[in-house]
Amino acid sequence: MSLAVAVTGAGAVVGGAPDFAPPLAYDALGIGPDGSVPLGHLPEAIRARAMRAERITQLLLAAGGRALAAAGIDAATAPATRAGIVVGTAFGCFLTNAAYQRRLAAEGPAGASPRLFAATVANAAAGELAIAYRLAGPALTVSAGGASGLAALGEAVEILRAGRADVVVAGGADALGGALADWCTATGLAFGTPPAEAAAVLVLERPGRVRAELGRIAGHASGFEPDPEGPAGGEGLAGAIAAACADAGLAPRAIAAVVSATPPPLAPLEARALDATVGGCRPRPMRPALGATGPLGLLAALADRKRRVPVLVLEVCPSGHVAALVAWSRGAP
Amino acid sequence: MITGCGVVSPLGSGLQAFWEGLLAGRSAVRPIAGFPADDLEPRAVAEVRDVPRTDPDRAGAFALEAATQALADAGLDPASVDPRRLAVALGTTLGGMLLFERWLDGDAVDGLERVPYYAPAVRVGRRFGCRGPVVTPQLACASGTQAIALAADWVRAGRADVVLAGGADLLCRFVVAGFNCLRATAEEARPFDAARRGLVLGEGGAVVVVEDAEHAARRHARLRGTVLGVGAAADATHMTAPDREGRGAARAIVAALGDADVAPARVGFVSAHGTGTPYNDAMEAVALTRVFGPRNVPVNSIKGAIGHTLGAAGAFEAILCLQVLAAGVVPPTAGLATVDAACADLDLVYGAPRAHAVDTAVSTSSGFAGVNAALVLGRAR
């Protein structure tokens, strides 16, 4: 059993169809009918920066600003060397890459935009959030397909456990639309339910030095399914669930609830993994949101519980990436 | 523990070709041959010449070949490892960009699912049947260093027994035009030279086998070296320009030394990021002097030889460090003839290899968005 980590702030921006109304532990910001990302809550200087930024950066700044404000952390003027950032994203700057490449193809090298090119690194969004709030500790962006969000939360937990930072801003984000929607169609990528465009960010701290807690992350693990739809599909997820429970110091059978957004084609894989670990407990479904899925699932898990219970959050992606996270909801023990 | 190394480099494929090319001070920088480049200026790059451009997932092909070599070098059959304890940490900045370019241009492309950044790691994970973590760290030009740092952390925390860790990146119009429009490139890579004008891009793949010490001991594995410590820190100042004082880079190195419990005076070699851009090299001179003091430790950069291989660079440089530790000789910095006054506090190795017995080496990387990562590597005993 390893150290549990406290969630002290959260923020999210969620777009998509009106039927997407997950029970969340906070009031998520919505995306406007015109597709605009809500930025009005950000401090003026950061909002001005966000207005000029790419879409995934806007999403992350909107959610991150909300989370930091909720945790009572202001934009610092000096570098905060004990504050880290970990962001998970499935597709990163896909849309920026497309915008940059289309101009390059149409106009030749004279059409190559320095501003766009600088934002084609997948860590651009995390970099902008780090610059905005002067987060100068360890910075990491990870991609693990639709399991990127939980992978990011897991690495953030490890940074805190190792004492490399006192606070880590962690979560996931993916921008959707245009070229990425075309690509999903072209590849026949079976996400099942169309994913929502979203960003979700949590502020994580070591327990004991914290303000009010929304809950705790007790254990985590990532895994992989080399052949997700094959007969052995589920062994990677079962391994991740078992490892996350062991990390949390819990027997898998002690899990009280499961939250996941597993796409229908992979439901048999998930069922096999759950049968082999937590038993008959079946997941409460939620709509997938690419890199933000796991962080949103965690916030859903931390909400609407009167008692303190261990909840399992899963991410399962057709790419083969899987992840599991065990959290204690807030509430009386 | 690191028990195996694999390399697909512009100096050739295989550890030996890479190392012999570096020791000879050779540069693989040439005009672009692999794709249309008449309108690109500058157009000097370091291409991998012994892997044909027929595989549209070029970064994935580099990664797979480097991983296969690394496993062979480690004498490790992946099927002998508990699949849940077998993992991949593979950095890249471009991933399936070649496919992406073609698809956006309206061409019919096979293997479109290999477009995303995570595709090379997935390809490696599938080939070797991994059921442990398969993650693509995205730290721009520090991705390769961060991948090995992640792998070492996973093994230390008991989350994996064997991790295939490193990076892979490819050359294409997207990236060459991009660095050109930032005015960051030059026709020649001359790290730390008074006449340096910018970086030269390269491509390739480099993978190491990071293995749990007990796992390695049980199978009597030969050791290539040890990851003693890892560190990371952000400048949090600017998206593309490094902090002029090198504060983030220095903090990453200090964090890695602290993690390794190694005093700066015990470090015998530093593999610099050394891109050859005016700002980076001057920043690094400040950062390294801040940590190690003036002229206390030999430093080189291999980017004059193989170019800046982006997400693979840190993995190549970690393998360089392991070779320096094992052989007791530091290769010269190709392209460096006259040390810039701004870098005079560095003890740069150039002109010829330098015999130098070393127990501990540091590799440092920096990237866009002000990210910095460092590794402390130890000699196998």
B173 and A90 in contact by Cβ < 8 A?
Answer: no
Size of interface A-B (CB pairs under 8 A): 216
Give mean pLDDT, residues A220-228: 97
Say if residue B75 is in the same domain as residue B37: yes
Q: What is the CATH number of the domain that holds B145?
A: 3.40.47.10
List C-alpha distances in Å: B23 to B231, B296, B319.
Answer: 28, 22, 14
Say if residue B149 is in the same domain as residue B210: yes
pLDDT at B320 exceeding the cut of 90: yes
Say if residue B204 is in the same domain as residue B267: no
Is residue B56 within 8 Å of B102, Cβ to Cβ?
yes
Distance CA B163, CA B210 (A): 5
pLDDT at A22 exceeding the cut of 60: no
Say if residue B183 is in the same domain as residue B331: no
- ipTM higher than threshold 0.85: yes
Min distance B232 CA to chain A CA atoms (Å): 5
Of A120, A141, A162, the CB nearest to B139: A141
B105 and A105 in contact by Cβ < 8 A?
Answer: yes
pLDDT at A21 exceeding the cut of 50: no
A123 and B180 in contact by Cβ < 8 A?
Answer: no
Helix or strand run (H / E) with residue A235: helix A235-247
What's the pLDDT tens digit per position in B99-130? Answer: 999 999 888 888 888 999 999 999 999 999 99
Say if residue B251 is in the same domain as residue B129: no
Give the per-residue SS3 of chain B.
Answer: CEEEEEEEECCEECHHHHHHHHHCCCCCEEECCCCCCCCCCCCEEECCCCCCCCCCCHHHHHHHHHHHHHHHHHCCCHHHCCHHHEEEEEECCCCCHHHHHHHHCCCCCCCHHHCCCCHHHHHHHHHCCCCCCEEEECCHHHHHHHHHHHHHHHHHCCCCCEEEEEEEECCCHHHHHHHHHCCCECCCCCCCECCCCCECEECEEEEEEEECHHHHHHCCCCCCEEEEEEEEEECCCCCCCCCCCCHHHHHHHHHHHHHHCCCHHHCCEEECCCCCCHHHHHHHHHHHHHHHCCCCCEEECCHHHHCECHHHHHHHHHHHHHHHHHHCEECCCCCCCCECHHHCCCEECCCCCEECCCCEEEEEEEEHHHEEEEEEEECCC
List C-alpha distances in Å: B364 to A332, B116, B146, B148, B270.
Answer: 47, 27, 10, 12, 8
Is residue A59 within 8 Å of A42, Cβ to Cβ?
no
Distance CA B228, CA B321 (A): 13
| Structural domain boundaries, residue B158 | 2-218
B112 and A186 in contact by Cβ < 8 A?
Answer: yes
Say if residue B184 is in the same domain as residue B265: no
Min distance A283 CA to chain B CA atoms (Å): 22
**pLDDT of the residue at A210:** 66
Give mean pLDDT, residues A198-209: 90
Say if residue B273 is in the same domain as residue B178: no
* B235 and A CB contact within 8 Å: yes
pLDDT at A247 exceeding the cut of 50: yes
Active-site residue list of B: 141, 273, 308
B137-160 as b/e: b if 16+ CB within 10 A: bbbbbbbbbbbbbbbbbbbbeebb
Instruction: Please count the structural domains in chain B.
Output: 2
A226 and B118 in contact by Cβ < 8 A?
Answer: no
* A138 and B CB contact within 8 Å: yes
CA atoms within 13 A on the CB side of B312: 35
pLDDT at A286 exceeding the cut of 90: no
- Helix, coil or strand: residue A5: strand
* A296 and B CB contact within 8 Å: no
**Pick among B117, B122, B126 to test the A interface (most A CBs inside 10 A):** B117
pLDDT at A27 exceeding the cut of 80: no
Residue B220: CB atoms within 10 Å: 7
CA atoms within 13 A on the CB side of A235: 15
Domain limit, last residue, from B169, B193, B218: B218
A139 and B139 in contact by Cβ < 8 A?
Answer: yes
Give mean pLDDT, residues B34-51: 96
Is residue A296 within 8 Å of A273, Cβ to Cβ?
no
Say if residue B253 is in the same domain as residue B176: no
What's the pLDDT tens digit per position in B328-372? Answer: 999 999 999 999 999 999 999 999 999 999 999 999 999 998 999
What's the pLDDT tens digit per position in B371-381? Answer: 999 999 999 97
Give mean pLDDT, residues B199-227: 98
Which residues of B, range 34-53, sit inside 8 Å of A by Cβ? 39-41
Non-local CB neighbours of A110 within 8 Å, separated by 6+ positions: none
Is residue B96 within 8 Å of B114, Cβ to Cβ?
yes
Residue A178: CB atoms within 10 Å: 13
Say if residue B264 is in the same domain as residue B368: yes
* B182 and A CB contact within 8 Å: yes
Say if residue B267 is in the same domain as residue B183: no
Domain limit, last residue, from B218, B235, B261: B218
**pLDDT of the residue at A24:** 53
State which residue of chain A sits closest to B254, comparing Cα positions. A164
* B108 and A CB contact within 8 Å: no
Say if residue B169 is in the same domain as residue B286: no
Domain limit, last residue, from B163, B192, B218: B218
- Helix, coil or strand: residue A296: helix
Share of chain A above pLDDT 70, in %: 92
Distance CA B61, CA B83 (A): 22
Tell me the chain B residues in contact with residue A94 when contact means C-beta distances shorter than 8 Å. 116
DSSP state of A185: H
B369 and A90 in contact by Cβ < 8 A?
Answer: no
Q: pTM for this one? A: 0.97
How far does CA B185 lie from the centroid of its chain?
19
pLDDT at A304 exceeding the cut of 70: no
**pLDDT of the residue at A331:** 64
Instruction: Considering only residues A262 and A252, tell me which one the structure prediction assigns the higher pLDDT.
Output: A252
Q: What is the token pair recorded at B289?
A: 């002097």
Of B112, B117, B181, the CB nearest to A117: B181
* A226 and B CB contact within 8 Å: yes
Give mean pLDDT, residues A3-13: 93
- Helix, coil or strand: residue A220: strand
**pLDDT of the residue at A56:** 96
**pLDDT of the residue at A20:** 46
Q: What is the token pair recorded at B376?
A: 């402390």
- Predicted confidence band of residue A192 (pLDDT cuts 50, 70, 90): low
Say if residue B203 is in the same domain as residue B68: yes
DSSP state of A40: T
Which residues of A, range 158-197, sit inside 8 Å of B by Cβ? 158, 161-162, 164, 179, 183, 186-187, 189
A139 and B234 in contact by Cβ < 8 A?
Answer: yes
pLDDT at B50 exceeding the cut of 50: yes
